[in-house]
Amino acid sequence: MKVLLLSLFHPELVRGGAQQICYELFEGLQAQEGVEPVLLAAIEPRFAALYKSGARITGFDNRPNEYVFLARDYDYTWNKAANFQLIESYAEFLTTIKPDVVHFHHFLLFGINLLPVTRKILPDAKIVFTFHEFLSICEANGHMLRKSDNSLCTRASNVRCHQCFPTIGPEQFLMREMWMKKHLAVADAFTCPSRFMIEHYVNWGLDRDKIHHVTNGQRDYSGGVAVTNTRARRNRFGFFGQMVDNKGVWVILRAIQQLRAEGFTDFTIEINGDNLRYASEARRQEFEDFLAAERELPFTEQILTLNGSYQVDELPQRMARIDWCLVPSTWWEIFGLVISEAWMFKRPVIASNVGGPKERIRHDEDGLLFAVGDPRALADAIRRACTEDGLWDRLVAGIRPPASRDVMVDGYLETYAAARPALAAPAAEMVSAEADDRPAKGRRRR
């Protein structure tokens, strides 16, 4: 069985949960007898050195069965491939590779219109689509956050989406929904890494019977040996991830301010991550101002440390420096790979009480949950973690091993087996950039 995996970015180039999981699956399938995985990772023109004149799909770094899709002219209004030559190259790639399963881990940079192209070229192949967020439903980067107050959104509608984007009329959101559903209908099966996601997509209108729950799994980066922690105090905290708005670093900053105002400063927090440049100007300025003020303090009074970006092989060293892992996400947080990574090293997690973290963490049994977006609630959790005798040991004892990569691979293999390919139909005709010139008024590039 040949399986083609389509990934948004290559994890070697851009860190992110969706591409990390896709690559974990690629490596896991390589170990399966009778399975040949092929990876096609989309990249964008900012990686100019990888673009070659006239090339559209090229090999990646001399690695067998790894290719990059050199996206260009992507239409962010309709999330479609708008370069007809690129579509032709993708069709030719399918004809050359001849996969039995085509597994999309995203449509961003590829284009949602490559699903019907896939069905047209490979009518007998099984098409699987994995949701890593809610971009199909939500124009606001798939985060389902109300732009008026950044509160969690529970459902999309023409009027509600118009309220977030006042320059876009409600009727265009109706067209967007129809557009997405038309193309997703080509898929034979969908998967979600968290069960709560399934309800969102069913309520949106997808067939529940076509949606499978397949958990995210990873290699054990601890090597099977948890980082030891013999310190008497449990007052060191760490954040791991992207420093963008919805990951909630700003909640950490305000919790520190709250605790300082109360005279409680016997703790440290280390920030491990980067991509602050992708945060909003206001959040980026807030962090830069906080860090500048922190560095003006005597070293013994500093609470926050910025460690910068990291690779997964650095996790043992970075996890050894902390006692607790903070996941203060202010959106639904689909799964939370950092939760799995913290559990590999027997580090309890303190997380927002929504989405994946709420589904995975058992409050007061293997971690702590606090009210999403509430710095006061996080401050209370940090104080409790530092001062309650026996809490850390009790929570560590309750931590269960996270799902392994093998568990995830088995889940996807079962999904591939259960999927039944739909027959090519007129609705699944190839969508070309020339033949499908939709209006693009009122939208903005993400």
pLDDT tens per residue, range 19-46: 999 999 999 999 999 999 999 999 999 9
Give the pLDDT confidence of 195-247 residue by residue, as tens digits.
999 999 999 999 999 999 999 999 999 987 666 667 778 999 999 999 999 99
Give the pLDDT confidence of 263-280 residue by residue, as tens digits.
999 999 999 998 888 899
CA 219 centroid distance within chain: 17
Contacts of 172 by beta carbon, 8 Å cutoff, 6+ apart: 441, 442
Looking at residue 249, what is its pLDDT?
A: 96
Is the pLDDT at 366 greater than 80? The verdict is yes
Q: What is the mean pLDDT of the chain?
A: 92
Looking at residue 150, what is its pLDDT?
A: 87
pLDDT band of residue 311 (cuts 50, 70, 90) is: confident
Alpha helices, DSSP H only, in 98-209?
114-121, 158-164, 170-184, 195-204
Mean pLDDT confidence for 8-21: 92
Give the pLDDT confidence of 46-101 residue by residue, as tens digits.
999 999 889 999 999 999 999 999 999 999 999 999 999 999 999 999 999 999 99
Give the pLDDT confidence of 161-200 residue by residue, as tens digits.
999 999 999 999 999 999 999 999 999 999 999 999 999 9
Give the pLDDT confidence of 282-302 residue by residue, as tens digits.
999 999 999 999 999 999 999
Alpha-carbon gap, residue 402 to 344, rounded angstroms: 7
pLDDT band of residue 443 (cuts 50, 70, 90) is: very low
Share of the chain above pLDDT 70, in %: 93
Please state, in angstroms and as integers, the Cα–Cα distance from residue 293 to each residue in 87, 217, 250, 286, following that order. 51, 39, 15, 11
Strand order in 268-272's β-sheet? 304-308, 268-272, 236-240, 324-327, 349-352, 367-370
pLDDT band of residue 351 (cuts 50, 70, 90) is: very high
Looking at residue 421, what is its pLDDT?
A: 78
Angle between helices 114-121 and 170-184 (to 10 degrees): 30
Looking at residue 423, what is its pLDDT?
A: 57
| Residue 333 and residue 361 in contact, taking contact as beta carbons nearer than 8 Å | no
Is the pLDDT at 424 greater than 50? The verdict is no
Is the pLDDT at 436 greater than 70? The verdict is no
Write down all domains in the chain, each with its CATH number in brackets. 2-218+407-428 (3.40.50.2000), 236-398 (3.40.50.2000)
Is the pLDDT at 322 greater than 50? The verdict is yes
Q: Residue 55: which of 81, 82, 75, 85 has the closest Cα? A: 85
Looking at residue 422, what is its pLDDT?
A: 65
Beta bridge partners of 189: 128
Is the pLDDT at 347 greater than 60? The verdict is yes
Alpha-carbon gap, residue 84 to 91, rounded angstroms: 11
Give the pLDDT confidence of 87-124 residue by residue, as tens digits.
999 999 999 999 999 999 999 999 999 999 999 999 99
Is the pLDDT at 305 greater than 70? The verdict is yes
pLDDT band of residue 331 (cuts 50, 70, 90) is: very high
Beta bridge partners of 130: 191
Angle between helices 405-418 and 17-30 (to 10 degrees): 80
